[in-house]
Homo-oligomer: A and B are copies of this chain.
Amino acid sequence: MNSYLPIVCGILALIFAFILTKGISKEDPGNERMKEISGYIHEGAMAFLKREYRYLSVFIVVVAIIIILAVDYKTAICFVFGAVFSILAGYCGMNVATKANVRTAQAATEGQRKALKIAFSGGAVMGMCVVGLGIFGLALLYIILGNDPNFITGFGLGASSIALFARVGGGIYTKAADVGADLVGKVEAGIPEDDPRNPAVIADNVGDNVGDVAGMGADLFESYVGSIISALTLGYFLFSGEQSKILFPLMLASVGVIASIIGAIFARNSKNSNPQKTLNHGTYIGGVLVIIGSLSLSISIFGDSKAFFAILAGLIVGISIGKITEIYTSDEYRFVRRIAKQSETGEATTIISGFAVGMYSTMIPIVLICAGVLFSFYIMGGGENIFMGLYGISLAAVGMLSTTGLTVAVDAYGPIADNAGGIAEMSGLPSSVREITDKLDSVGNTTAAIGKGFAIGSAALTALALFASYAQKTELTAINLLTPVTLVGVLIGAMLPFLFGALTMESVGKAANHMIEEVRHQFKTIPGIMEGKAKPDYKKCVDISTSAALKEMILPGVLAIVVPIAVGMLLGVEALGGLIGGAVSSGVLIAIMMANAGGAWDNAKKFIERGAHGGKGSDAHKAAVVGDTVGDPFKDTSGPAMNILIKLMTIVSLVFATVIANNGGILLRLFN
């Protein structure tokens, strides 16, 4: 009975998503001009997805064959399911998002409340697809494959690899378009943002969808399933045979799904017209329900509240990291203000101080993660049984991610509101519409900061928990830092996020350059374009972003999969363990640094635009714009990709653990 509950919950979430989709489709998509523009965006987004899927299908087939040969066919089946479900979630979410945007703009002509409802519903579809497909897929495969969670690590691998491609591809897409549109349109030609005369404007709006909706959804899909998988595999090892205990993480996730649905319904139907309060309302209700549910689950299954406290620790750490993020990235605190002040002495001091803020902002989140790790380890009795303690860490990760449905909903709502604003601008709707969408968008930004905190915190905990599963599977009882191979692994692992950051930033730079040249070219060669008489060639720009994103995502994606396997085969399981440890620590740090530096620069610019230090057009503003542009790939491409990188490398190690344990360390055997 128990094992069917998660499947039922997953189906419930999908039904809810379906109802929301129907509801959105029924809304008025506005006038012809709006339909035309949103049509371009929808088309561009779908064209990107379709071409991406072509690449991904090759990848899926190749990796599936490798898994069949190196591991077993059941894991390969799970891998394919994980990949396909992740793709499915992204497809559904983005399909709806590109419908909700124009309807949000139209609704905003009638008032804020309705616009908020549509935008949030659009986000909620993405959220429900993520959790629904995640828990449904996991539970189903678990039962079908004979209640053995070892195969479903493949599901995690599928989800992770798609997430990496989606995040990196989406991130490059959106920033190439954004930087290109801004540098030529805003700076050189002096036309406002989202101006229909700008050839890159559609690509920019498509980018919001493929990067911030589909990319982010895939990211959290894999965190979500990754944390459940690690808890399941550790539980399977710890509670041999006791199904009710083994299934605990899936039960917990089920509670989270129900809580998310209820929270979303509350947020959607709230009569409050303050968008911030509405979103908080839904989030709090979801959170409280999860706390109550996990306490009773903990007592009924384990007979005490220890597991509950581990889960609670995860929730608190996640929320705290989000709140702390605000301190470093909101203009209400001294960090952003200091950057704004430094803009007065020019671009260089703006960059230096923003970079310093990003580095500085790593301290407290790391301490919080450490506290969460130690607490959830020891509360579960890790002092006596190390794997029991590691199980506690994995529960903290599951706890942190239990309300993923709501987190994604709130996260995806932002870009929908943003897109609605763009459509309003391009269709020449009254400025009151843009004001409403801007307000919705800005609320989304604050809430999204908390979401980013969750994403980073959960990535760290999930990776650590998967790391524990890896150790258990390779039967390592120690990964000794004193052994040089481990140290070498740590060094190489710590280096990988740097390499990854370099590759992704370089890609954005290259793609943005293409875009800049194309936009300049169109401004020069299409007569009447600046007077609004001739239409720019939007498609060309969409195409540039699409091709660049797809081409540039391959190398980082392949590296993330090949390097762990290569290190394991050459230097053995201990070196691979060190690699994961090094990659997790340096990856989390770079992720936090880049996300917060980018956020701080962004808000310093906005702070100046609202009138500080000379306001718009001043030298300080120019310097701040440079900071913001540097921050774009930091916070939207390279930074978020780190989360996935560390989880993907960990799960690759986990899937190939046995192969590496049996055959790895070729180079070491030569030495000895």
Please tell me if the beta carbons of B491 and A366 are within 8 angstroms of each other in the complex: yes
Partner of A492, one of B367, B479, B480, B502: B367
A122 within 8 A of B: no
* Distance of A494 Cα from B494 Cα, bound (Å): 9
The answer to whether the Cβ of A346 comes within 8 Å of any Cβ in the partner chain is yes
- Interface contact A374-B505, CB-CB below 8 Å: no
Interface string of A616-650 (1 = CB under 8 A from B): 00000000011001100100000000000000000
Residue of A353, A367, A369, A487 with highest tally of chain B CB at under 10 A: A487
B183 close to A508 (CB less than 8 A): no
Q: Are A346 and B183 in contact (CB under 8 A)?
A: yes
Does chain B have a CB within 8 A of A498? Answer: yes
Please name all residues of chain B whose beta carbon is closer than 8 Å to the beta carbon of A390 when the two chains form the complex: 482, 484
Q: Closest residue to A489 on the B side, CB-wise?
A: B370
A578 touches B352 (CB 8 A): no
B-contacting residues, A347-402, CB 8 Å: 347-349, 351-353, 355-360, 362-363, 366-367, 369-370, 373-374, 377-378, 382-383, 386, 389-390, 393
* Cβ A359 vs Cβ B630 within 8 A: no
Closest CB-CB distance, A30 to chain B, in whole Å?
35
Provide the bound-state CA to CA distance between A588 and B491, in Å: 9
A495 within 8 A of B: yes
A491: chain B residues at CB < 8 Å are: 366, 369-370, 585, 588
Cβ contact within 8 Å between A352 and B482: no
Q: Which of B348, B370, B377 contacts A629 (CB 8 A)?
A: B348
Chain B residues with CB below 8 A from A506, complex form: 353, 356, 360
B488 to A481, Cβ gap below 8 A? Answer: no
In the complex the two chains form, is A488's CB within 8 Å of B348's CB?
A: no
> Do A499 and B363 contact each other (CB < 8 Å), given the known contacts A479-B480, A488-B373, A581-B481?
yes
Name the B residues within 8 Å of A363 (CB-CB). Answer: 495, 498-499
**Is the CB–CB distance between A482 and B513 below 8 Å?**
no
Residues of B within 8 A of A358 (CB): 502
A444 proximal to B (CB < 8 A)? no
Roughly how many angstroms separate A464 CA and B386 CA in the complex, as a whole number?
28
CA distance A626 to B374 in the complex (A): 44
A516 located at the interface, meaning its Cβ lies under 8 Å from any Cβ of chain B in the complex: yes
Q: Which residues does chain B contribute within 8 Å of A589, judged by CB atoms? A: 494-495, 498, 586
A-B contact pairs, 20 of them (CB 8 A): A183-B345, A183-B348, A187-B346, A342-B509, A345-B512, A347-B347, A352-B629, A359-B499, A360-B498, A374-B485, A374-B488, A378-B672, A383-B672, A386-B482, A478-B480, A478-B482, A480-B481, A481-B577, A493-B585, A494-B586
Closest 6 interchain pairs by CB?
A348-B629, A360-B502, A359-B502, A479-B481, A494-B585, A356-B505
Q: Beyond the given A346-B626, A491-B588, please list 5 additional residue pairs across the A-B interface where CB-CB is below 8 A.
A: A349-B509, A362-B499, A476-B482, A478-B478, A582-B585
